[in-house]
Amino acid sequence: MVSLKRVLLFIAVLFIAVSPFRSFAAEEAHGNEGKTKDQEIKEHIDHHLKDDYYFTFFSHQESGKHYGFPLPVILIDNGLQVFSAGEFEYGAKVVEKNGNYYKLYHSKIYKTDAAGTITYDEKHHPTNEKPLDFSITKGVVGLMLTTVLLFIGFLSLAKTYKKGPNAIPTGMGRVLEPLVLYVRDEMAVPNIGHRYKEFMPYLLSVFFLIFTLNILGLTPLGLNVTGNISVTLCLALFTFFITNFKGNKDYWKHIFWMPGVPVPFKFVLAPIEVLGMLTKPFSLMLRLFANITAGHSVVMGLIAIVYLFQHQLTVPGSIGVSMLLTLILFFLELLVAFLQAFIFTMLSSLFIGMAVEEHAHH
């Protein structure tokens, strides 16, 4: 039974690792008129990294058919406008709602006229007005899915603890408990000290949210939530606000009136400390965004080598070597998925610990 589970697990991982080949193969088989292979591959990778109003698994370029499903579009523009993204037909049609016309252009919705006119500035950037967009995109679906998965997992773990202190977790709880203890014993307690329980809910939430989103980003669903800088900005702002709202008087004193240094240097150090206070969340935001985006780009780029150099790869086994490299990189991405969640949570606990630290006064 154990051997069968391992075989099924290996097959599942292999399927996930090579699943992007299917999408490249679909595009390659039918071509894309007027575009070189380099351009096609770049567009495919850019599309994978961006958020979208559709879940598109693969496309038939010759017939123009897309295999997937659209998501709800919710706009605030002279009232509430709600409709399906399928009405855009992947940007081919202009949607009219209550006298307003909308066009999907480069994964963004713009207000336009009945003809779908897009105006540009000198740098060829669209100048059309954009409505206030609250649509359910792939990224939002990814966050919702992660929320449900974490809710189910931690509900299972909580039920175990209700049975008593010596109860052994089962199911998802058995997987989650070691990670919960790891966050507590290796991050919260060493960095925050005796006040660690106050911040454990946030640290656990951010760790498991980032880790689960990173794992989902390696599946055929094509999610790239933590590769969206607005998401990493939001997470970094939570750490920033918690750190500064919970900071004690010693924390603020060390920022604006550094003790133990001559008065003239206090005026020099204060702006530097304020700048450091702002660069900490910026580093959290940029590190997570850059690492996840780079990882996805490298994996997709390795897969693209097969199709970009398919005529040059005539040596038997060349494609197999490329697939093997992609599979190895996929396992490396699994490590990165955990590592980025660990780094973000570790640094958050460190910043919070510095803010609530009680200094000895002599």
Q: What is the pLDDT of residue 11?
A: 45
Is the confidence at residue 175, as pLDDT, over 60? yes
What are the contacts of 120-127 at 24+ separation with CB within 8 A?
none
Looking at the chain, the number of H-run helices and the number of E-run strands are: 10, 8
User: Phi and psi of 302, rounded to 5°?
Assistant: -65, -40
In sign, the C-alpha dihedral spanning 206, 207, 208, 214 is positive
Residue 115's contacts (CB-CB under 8 Å, 6 or more residues apart) are 94
Average pLDDT over residues 106-128: 87
User: Could you tell me which residue, 264 or 284, shows the higher pLDDT?
Assistant: 284
Residue 204 and residue 188: Cα distance in Å, rounded? 10
What pairs with residue 111 in β-bridges?
Answer: 102
pLDDT above 70 as % of the chain = 75
If one counts every other C-beta atom within 10 angstroms of the C-beta of residue 356, the result is 19
Q: Which helix (H) or strand (E) holds 73?
A: strand 72-76
Provide DSSP, 249-265.
HHHHHHHHS-TTS-HHH
pLDDT grade, residue 188 (50/70/90)?
A: very high
Which one of 5-9, 160-164, 249-253 scores highest in mean pLDDT?
Answer: 249-253
Q: What is the pLDDT of residue 266?
A: 80
What pairs with residue 73 in β-bridges?
Answer: 83
Is the confidence at residue 36, as pLDDT, over 70? no
Average pLDDT over residues 77-106: 87
Is the confidence at residue 238, as pLDDT, over 90? yes
* Nearest CA-CA partner of 47 in 75, 66, 30: 66
